[in-house]
Amino acid sequence: MVDGGKLSDHARKLIAGYLDLAPSLTAFGNTVPTSFLRLVPHQEAPTNICWGDQNRSVLVRVPLGWLGVADMVKDANPQETEHGPPPDGSQTVEFRCPDGSANVHFLLAGLAVAARHGLEMPGALELAEKLYVSVNIFAPEHKALQQELPQLPASCSESADRLLKDRAIYEKDDVFSPRLIDGIVKQLKSYDDEGLSERFYGKGSEIQTLVERYLHCS
C-alpha cells in the first residue's frame, strides 16, 4: 500500500476498484430503505463517489498513516497520557457508505472483488486521479465540484439496478452465484423505494416509522 513514503500504484488501483463498483457495493452494505436516508449531504456520510485523506465528505478515506506522521494518537487525544506503541506503518482504507444493515459476509466478498477489479481494470490510476478530492465537497464554495462527481444510489431499487449492471464482475470465478445475485436484487426491488428521500423529507414521524420497521427498534 505504501511505496517510498507515498501511496503505491497498487493502493491507488485498489481504491479505483472500490470507486468503480461503489454503486453496486451498496447492494451488500446498504440493504434497507432507511440506509439511503443517511446518505445525504451534511450527515458526515458520503453521497458522491470520490476519495481523499483529510476530510470526511469522501466515500473512500485513506487515513494519513502513509505520510509517516508521528504522534497522531497524541494529537487526536491530547488528554490521554498513555498512547501505546507507535503505528507499525501498515496502511488502512475506509469504505464509508455501509451501515448496520449490511450483510457483512457479502460485503467483504464484494470488497475483495472490487479490489481485484481495480488491480486488473484498464485506466484504474486515471480514475483514481480523477476522483481524488482534497476539500470538503459539501462546503458552499465547492458546490460545483460536488455536482461534477458521480453519485451513490438513492434507493434500494437503484442499488439493485447497479448490481445487475455489474453482476458479471461479481460472478467472475464463481465468487457470487447468479442465483445469489438474483435473490439480492429481488429483495432490494421488493421495497419499491424510488424517490424515498424526496417523499419523506421533513416528515419526522413517517421516517421514525420506517426506522422502526426496517431497523427493528424496540
In a domain, 57, yes or no: yes
pLDDT, tens digit, 9 for 90 and up, residues 162-205: 999 999 999 999 999 999 999 999 999 999 888 776 676 666 77
The DSSP 8-state label assigned to residue 86 in this structure reads P
pLDDT, tens digit, 9 for 90 and up, residues 40-71: 776 778 999 999 987 778 999 998 655 555 55
pLDDT, tens digit, 9 for 90 and up, residues 94-130: 999 999 999 999 999 999 999 999 999 999 999 999 9
In a domain, 124, yes or no: yes
Calculate the average pLDDT of the chain: 86
With cut-offs at 50, 70 and 90, classify the pLDDT of residue 4: confident
Residue 91: exposure state from Cβ atoms within 10 A (0-12, 13-18, ≥19): middle
Q: Give the Cα separation of 196 and 37 in Å (integer).
A: 8
Count of domains observed in the chain: 1
What percent of the chain is predicted at pLDDT more than 90? Answer: 57
Residue 161: exposure state from Cβ atoms within 10 A (0-12, 13-18, ≥19): middle
In a domain, 15, yes or no: yes
Q: What is the mean pLDDT of residues 2-22?
A: 93
Range of the domain at 45: 2-76+87-137+147-215
The answer for 71, left when phi > 0, alpha when psi is -120 to 50, beta otherwise, is left
In a domain, 82, yes or no: no
In a domain, 81, yes or no: no
Provide the CATH number for the domain around residue 106: 3.30.590.10
In a domain, 64, yes or no: yes
In a domain, 142, yes or no: no
Q: Is the dihedral of CA 182, 184, 128, 89 positive or negative?
A: negative
Backbone dihedral angles phi then psi of residue 60, each to the nearest 5 degrees: -110, 115
